[in-house]
Structures are given as C-alpha cells and as structure tokens.
Structure 1
Amino acid sequence: MVSTTKIKSVDFYRKIPRDLTEASLSGAGLSIVAALAMVFLFGMELSNYLAVNTNTSVIVDKSSDGDFLNIDFNISFPSLSCEFASVDVSDVLGTHRLNITKTINKIPIDMHLRATGEEFHSTSGLHLINHGDEDHEENTTYAAIPLTEATFEKFSHHFQILVVNFYAPWCYWSSRLKPSWDKAADITRERYDPQTDGRILLGSVDCTIEATLCKSNHIQGYPSIRIFHKGSDHKEDHGKHEHESYYGDRDTESLIKMVEGLLKPIKKEDDKLALDGKSDHVVSSIKKAPVSGGCRVEGYLSAKKVPGELVISAHSGAHSFDASHMNMSHFVTHFSFGAMVSDRLLTDMKRLLPYLGQSHDRLDGKWFINQRKFDANVTIEHYLQVVKTEVISKRSGQEHPLIEEYEYTAHSNVAHSYDLPVAKFHFELSPMQVLISENPKSFSHFITNVCAIIGGVFTVAGILDSIFESTVKLVKKVELGKHI
C-alpha cells in the first residue's frame, strides 16, 4: 500500500500553520474588495451565459410551411357598404378567387369606424337572378309612383309597407328591372287599392335626382329594392325606420310573391301583426338592409407563394355602381402574412423580441385616404415586398425551429383606374429568407470562465497585497535608517 506520506507529497495546497500567519487591516480590506469583484464578475459571466447569442444569415427560402401563405387582415372602409364589399385574390399563375366569404367577416360601421350592427352575410347567386319581362312594353295603366324626399316621408308614415326601387336611369340592371317593377306596381294597385286598403305601396326613386334621399338610405348599388315598415316596433335607436333589402328574382311573378309574403302577417281589418310569419320565399330573399354606409372587412385567406394581389372592392352580379360617388379610403387595423405569433409565445421567449416583429406591421394603425375628392375612379394601391424570417435553436447539438414569420416593406400610392375604384394590395415574396440561429454557450465554457474569474481575482489580489506589504516594509526600513 502507498503510504500516507507519499500521498501527502502530491498536495498542491500545502498548509501554513496559522501561528505563522499574520492578519492585517490592509489585507482584510483588499480581501473584501476582491470578494466583491468576484461576485460582480460572476454575475456578468452568468448574464452572458444566459443571453442569446444569435447569428443572422440570408439563405435561399427553404419554407417548411407548404406552398400557400396565409394573409390576415382587418381593414375598415367608411364609405363602402357591406352589402357589396367583395374580397378577391389572384396571382401570376392565373388563379382568380372572387368574393371570398368562407373566412371573411363583414361588420357594418359608421364614419367613426364604430360597429352599427351584426355581421353582414353576403348574398350569393345574384348573377343568377331571373329578370324576366325584358321585352315588356311600357303600356301599364299605373307605373310605380316616383318618390321625392318630401313624398317619401309622407308615404312611409301612411302605408304599413313601402317598397321602393332606388334606381339610376343610366344603369343597365335598372333598365331591365323597370318593366317588371311597373307591372308589379300595377298589379299591386289593382289588388290592394292604396285608398281603401292602405297596407302596401310600390314606389321608385331616381337617385340621379334624389341624391340626398339615396345617400341617407346608404344606396351604393343600382337598383336596390328596399322595404320600409311603419310602426314603433320597427324603429332604430336613432328614430329612423328599420328597413330591409330584397335580393330575389326580379321578374313580375317573383315581385308579386314578395308583396304577398310581406302582406301575409298583416291583417287588413285592424292593421295589426298576425301570428303567421312571412313565406319561406320572402324570408330567403329579404335581408336587413345596412343602417350605415361603411364596412369593416376582417378575416384571412390563403394565397400561393407567388406574386399576386388582394383586392377589396364593390362587386355584384346584378347591380351597377357610380364610380364618381365611390370612395375607397380605408384604415388598416391589422395586415400580416403567415401564421400569427401568439402573445403567449412572445412572452415566453422575450429574448427573441429584438430580432422579430420589427417590420411585419408596416400598414397597421394607418389611414389611407383619397384626397382627390373631385376625381372619379381613384384606386388606392399598396406594394408589399415580403421576406420570411425564421428563428432556429441549436440546443443539444440539434436544430429546433422556434418561430417562422413573414415581414414586409410597404409602399402606397393613389392612382386613377379605368374601372371602378378599389383597394389593392400587391404582394411579392422574396426567394430568399432571413435565418436567425441561436447558438447557446456550453456549460463547460461557463464553468471555465468562472474558475478563471475566481482564480484570477484571488491571484491578483494576492500580488497586490504582497506589493503593498513589501512597500510598507521598505518605507519603514528607510525611515529607520534615517533615524540611525
């Protein structure tokens, strides 16, 4: 067996008997300073160890999220009615998706962007509406009564139901509706004499003449058939009559069925509501009309990862629009590409904030206004350059993707268009992506630095103490020599 003496011979830290050591006030002070320095440097090293060490590079896009890109948006249009607001997307490969509704919500708003009603559900199949009576000659003995702003109020308070065709003489669809509308008005007059019955009347409003009346009823497409009800049970908060819109077929037979369905719940004798409701035909063709002229369009859609455009505009397969009265000014609450980074994820990973979320909201919280008030067909366009940013972690020697998001730059412009004005968002994805790699320091490197800090400070403090003691002794010797 190896003797204890031989084992002790390899001791690096030989002990000096305590009786041979001497404590000094200067040594105590230096020891305190050295200890504080050790604690401070240890804290600095620990902070450096815990900090994220990142490496940023630009590489060819190696997207792992498929060939499609989500576009998430929330945009408010104070002068575009939800009745006709349409969201379309197209790309350079020839894809055209019109009037997307499945993932889009449309909320009526006022000029101050405040919601004025429940979500508006778009009416499908307007291009399949049956007009009929195209060749009908205008030989009816009674056409629909032309209404003015003054007579409109009079008739709306006199009749239980006032059905009004808001039209424009130049409108193709208004021209197609006129024969059927006049004939339906004639038949309605014969069956329900306004003088003796008093329950219903069909009228017409020329919006080129009665512009104020049409604007107050938020008419943006021609023709628009509105149904006004008399009575306090149908009044809005602001005292205006609640009204509905008819979206059914426009031939004479269908219009008469609408009239019959509206009159079904109203008794002639006492003009009170009966227990029976409207017919299924009427219910399916009539919806509540917008009580304000604005719309907030929000939702998301998927687009191919190729250059394309998102377009929001007024669209209908059976209405015409006056471009001179359309204003596509809008406020962008939110517009982003890709999957949204949740607040919880960002909270848990605050170390990533300096590298993410710097330019994925370039349009958020901004107004884009048509300043050319006297110009028609003014389109507001946004040109967006999109770049993917990905953060990966190389912990445990393996790469782990943490976050993938898309950032973009935006340039906006107001321009004239030969078609109806729209809000257009052009987007183009870069073939390159920004790759941010987390490279954590190894624990062995941290321990090595801590040992170096402790040993270094201890050694330097010892050297300083020796120098100080030697200097003090030398000074004493010099003073002693002078006295001798």
Structure 2
Amino acid sequence: MVSTSKIKSVDFYRKIPRDLTEASLSGAGLSIVAALCMMFLFGMELNNYLTVSTTTSVIVDKSSDAEFLRIDFNMSFPALSCEFASVDVSDVLGTNRLNITKTVRKHSIDKNLRPTGSEFHSGSTATELKHDAEDDEEYGEGSVSLNGHSFDRVTHHFPILVVNFFAPWCYWSNRLKPSWEKAANIIRERYDRESDGRILVAKVDCTEEVDLCRRNHIQGYPSIRIFRKGTDVRDDHGHHDHESYYGDRDTDSLVKMMEDLVAPIKLDSQTITSDNSSTKLETGLKRPAPVTGGCRIEGFVRVKKVPGNLVISARSAAHSFDASQMNMSHVISSFSFGKTITPKVMSDIKILLPHLGRSHDRLNGNSYVTNPRDSTENVTIEHFLQVVKTEVMTRSYKLVEEYEYTAHSSLVHSLHIPVAKFHYEPSPMQVLITENPKSFSHFLTNVCAIIGGVFTVAGILDSILHNTMRMVKKVELGKNF
C-alpha cells in the first residue's frame, strides 16, 4: 500500500504552521478589498452570462410562407353602410380581386362605433340585373311621391310600403324608372288603395329629401326598400326596420315581388298570416336593410409579396353613388401583416429583444376623420406602408416571424368616389436576428480567473506593502543609532 507520507508529497498547497504566520492590519484591509472586488467582478460576469446576445444580419427574404403575405385588419367606418362596403385587392402583377367576402366579416355599427346586431350578410348580388328594354313606350306616374312629412304617416297606414329611393342624375335610377312606374300602375289597379289598401308603391327623390334618405341609410341609388306596418321603433326617432330588394328590375319581376308581399295579408283584417312560407321571395332577392349607416370590417386577406393595394370602398354593379356625400372616415383597431403572434410568444420575444414589435401595429388605435362639408372635393384617405420582415432564431432553435412596417397617411382630393386605400410595399430583404448561446464552461473559467487573479494581485500588493513598511522601520532604527 502507498504510504500516507508519499501521498502528502504531491500536495500543491503545503501549509505553513499558523504559529509561523503573522497577521497584519494592512493585510486584513487588503483581504476585505479583495473579497469585495471578487464579489463585484463575479456579479458582473454572472450578469454578462445571463444577458442574451444576438447577431443581426440582412439577407434576401426566404420566408416560410413562400410568396404570399397575410394582412389582418379590424376597421370601423361610421359613414359607410355594410350594404355596399367592399374589400378589394390589387397588385402590380395584375391581380384584381373585388368584394372579398370569404375571409371578411361585416357588422353594422352606430355613430359611437358600437355594433347594432349580428354579423351583416350581404349575400350574393347579381352582376347584371334584368331591366325592361329601353324604348319610347309611354308610361304614367303610378307611384306616389313621398316627403319627410308624408313618409311616417304612410308607413303607419299601409301594411306594405315599397319605396324606390332614387336620384334624378343616377343612370340606374333612370333605367329603373319606366319599369317601376309600370309596376306601380299594375299594382294600383289590382290592389286599389280605397277598396283594398294592403300595399302602396312609392318613391323618394333623395336630392330633395336628403334627411329622409339619410335617416333610412340610403347610400346607393336606386335603393328599393320594403316597409311593413308596425315595425317602427319609437326609441330610435321613428326608424323602421325594413328590408332591401336586390332582384331583377324589369316590370314582371317587380310586380311578382310586390304580389308575393301582399299574398300573406288578409284583405279584411290587413294582418300578416303566420304561414307565409309559400309566398317568400326567392332566396337572395330580399334581405334585411342596414339599421345603421356605419360598418365595422374585420378579417384577413392573402396577397402576393409585391407592391399592391388594399381598398375599402362602396361598390355595386347596379347602384350609383353620390361622391360628394361619401365619407370614408375610419378608425383602425388593428392592422398587421403576417401570422398573428400570441401574447406569450410576444412577451418572450420582448425579453430577448425589447425593441422588437414596436412597429408591427403602427396604425392601431388611429382615427382618420374627414368632414365633406369642409371641402367641395371628395376626400380619399391613403396609407403608404413599407413592410419589412424580421425573423428571430432563439437559442432553442425556435423560429419566430414578425412583420414590421412604417406608415404615412394623407388625404387626397379628387373627383372620383372616395375610398380608403392601403398601399403596401413589401421589402425583398429581411432582418435575421440570431440568439448567440454562451458556454457555461467559459463562465466557470472566467470566474476562476477572477478569483485567482484578484487573490494573486492582492497578495503581491500585500507583499509590497509589508516589505515597504519593514524597510521604513529599518531606516528609522538606523537613524536612532
């Protein structure tokens, strides 16, 4: 067996008997200072080890979502009816998608941006509606002209009131006029107001009865509305829940629509029967009219990663719009590019990079309000967005994608129908941020170097100080002798 003395011979740290050592006041002071230095440098090294370091580089965009870009939005338009609100997308490659509805939802809102009901379903409107052939055939004025005073009285008197809200300058209103008057004459003959009184066909000139048309949220011409007796809401300034007709506009179609409305009403009591399933209008031709004049539009669209436009506008294939009355003021609740990042992931990224994510919602919470009365020209609101993608590769090799953008907005005056336009321009480059992992062994090496280095330096200083004091004492003793 190896003796204990041989084992002790390899001791690197041979001990000096305590009786042979001497403690000094200067050594104690240096020891305290050295200990404090060790603690301070250890804390700095630990903080540096725990601090995340990253490397930033700019590379060509190699996104996982290939050549497409997702745009999420939630916007409120206080003066644009959901009846005609349209989301359109176009780009420099020639893509042109109109009235996107599959991934877009619309809710009617009041002037305070509060929703007034369930989701508004605009349904499918025919691109071309049937009209009577344009000829010189004479027709009489069969419909009754209403104004703001007579409208309320008539709606409370007739079980069914069918109204054509029109504008004399409107092309589609003039196309409808002959068939509308012919249909009104036919209905008046079949359902005489004196002996029958179940239906009245009327019309309202919106250029003269501006307040009446605004109260019924008429934004496109012509708008055919169906009012039923007893549906007035007293708490809302006498507003009537009513329906819109979107079917063909030839005489036969209009007459059939009106007769289907009268059929469920008994002549003697003028009350609507409970079973009217056989007389319902064809699906899609009649839908509830908007109860308010505003619309909240939310959803998303997928576009190609090339410069393009996202446009919110009033659109219809069979209606005209008064550009001077269109107001595209809007409030943006959210507008972002790319996949939605969960709050937890975003908070983790904030710890890694506090500055990241500050520019992915530049438009959120902003209001863009115009007042047409302040200008004789129409106002289009344009937003110019430059989009840059940032990818973060974390230490756990988890990839997080974030799109940030700059936003510049302006008001443009023109003679065209105003719109809200978002012009986006994706960058062909992307920012790649990689988290650099730190070695724990390197941390331990640095800690040992700190302790050993401070201990050695303190020992050298103590030796110098001790020898200096001894020399001073020797000099003083020599002078005394």
**Is TM (by shorter chain) over 0.5?**
yes
In structure 2, the partner of 1:230 is 229
Give the secondary structure class of the aligned counterpart of 2:86. Answer: strand
Query: After superposition, where does 1:432-451 map in structure 2 within 5 Å?
Result: 432-451=429-448
The answer to whether the 8 Å contact 2:139/2:178 transfers is no
In structure 1, the partner of 2:217 is 218
Q: Distance in 2 between matches of 1:448 and 1:387?
A: 41
Change (3 A) 1:355 1:403: farther
Give the secondary structure class of the aligned counterpart of 2:186. Answer: helix
The answer to whether the 8 Å contact 2:386/2:427 transfers is yes
Query: After superposition, where does 1:37-186 map in structure 2 within 5 Å?
Result: 37-132=37-132, 134-135=134-135, 137-140=137-140, 143-186=142-185
Give the secondary structure class of the aligned counterpart of 1:281. Answer: coil
Residue identity matched to 2:453:
G
In structure 1, the partner of 2:417 is 420
Q: Distance in 2 between matches of 1:135 and 1:352?
A: 74
The share of aligned pairs that are identical, in percent, is 66
Give the secondary structure class of the aligned counterpart of 1:359. Answer: coil
The answer to whether the 8 Å contact 2:159/2:271 transfers is no
Query: After superposition, where does 1:14-413 map in structure 2 within 5 Å?
Result: 14-21=14-21, 31-132=31-132, 134-135=134-135, 137-140=137-140, 143-231=142-230, 235=233, 237-238=235-236, 239-278=238-277, 279-282=279-282, 284-370=284-370, 373-393=374-394, 400-413=397-410
Q: Distance in 1 between matches of 2:132 and 2:41?
A: 89
The answer to whether the 8 Å contact 1:108/1:292 transfers is yes
- Of stretches 467-476 and 403-412 in structure 1, the one that deviates more from structure 2 is 467-476
Q: Distance in 1 between matches of 2:29 and 2:191?
A: 110
Give the secondary structure class of the aligned counterpart of 1:248. Answer: coil
Residue identity matched to 2:393:
I
Change (3 A) 1:14 1:227: same
Change (3 A) 1:415 1:29: same
The answer to whether the 8 Å contact 2:88/2:99 transfers is yes
Offset at 1:260?
2.9
Residue identity matched to 2:241:
E
Offset at 1:226?
1.2
Offset at 1:413?
2.1
Q: Distance in 2 between matches of 1:58 and 1:415?
A: 35
Change (3 A) 1:3 1:163: same
Give the secondary structure class of the aligned counterpart of 1:170. Answer: coil
Residue identity matched to 1:9:
S
Give the secondary structure class of the aligned counterpart of 2:211. Answer: helix
Give the secondary structure class of the aligned counterpart of 1:158. Answer: coil
Q: Pairwise CA RMSD of aligned residues?
A: 2.7
Offset at 1:310?
1.0
Q: Distance in 2 between matches of 1:379 and 1:436?
A: 38
Offset at 1:125?
2.9
Q: Distance in 1 between matches of 2:239 and 2:205?
A: 21
- Deviations for 1:211-239, whole angstroms, at most 9, x for unmatched residues? 111111111000001122222x5537525
Q: Distance in 1 between matches of 2:369 and 2:310?
A: 18
- Of stretches 340-349 and 218-227 in structure 1, the one that deviates more from structure 2 is 340-349
- Deviations for 1:96-152, whole angstroms, at most 9, x for unmatched residues? 111100001111122222222222122323323222354373434x51101111111
Q: Distance in 1 between matches of 2:136 and 2:81?
A: 32
The answer to whether the 8 Å contact 1:257/1:282 transfers is no
User: Unpaired segments of 5 or more residues in structure 2?
Assistant: none
The answer to whether the 8 Å contact 1:136/1:179 transfers is no
Q: Distance in 1 between matches of 2:411 and 2:197?
A: 51
- Of stretches 58-67 and 259-268 in structure 1, the one that deviates more from structure 2 is 259-268
Q: TM-score, normalised by structure 1?
A: 0.90
Q: Distance in 2 between matches of 1:291 and 1:136?
A: 38
The answer to whether the 8 Å contact 2:163/2:204 transfers is yes
Change (3 A) 1:422 1:6: same
Change (3 A) 1:275 1:18: same
Q: How many residues were matched structurally?
A: 478
Q: Distance in 2 between matches of 1:481 and 1:339?
A: 87
- Of stretches 20-29 and 379-388 in structure 1, the one that deviates more from structure 2 is 20-29
- Of stretches 458-467 and 423-432 in structure 1, the one that deviates more from structure 2 is 458-467
The one of 454, 457, 472 aligned to 1:457: 454
Q: Distance in 1 between matches of 2:189 and 2:298?
A: 47
Q: Distance in 2 between matches of 1:240 and 1:381?
A: 34
Q: Distance in 2 between matches of 1:78 and 1:389?
A: 35
User: Unpaired segments of 5 or more residues in structure 1?
Assistant: none
Q: Distance in 2 between matches of 1:230 and 1:282?
A: 22
Offset at 1:456?
2.6
The answer to whether the 8 Å contact 1:262/1:282 transfers is no
Residue identity matched to 1:184:
A
Residue identity matched to 2:388:
V
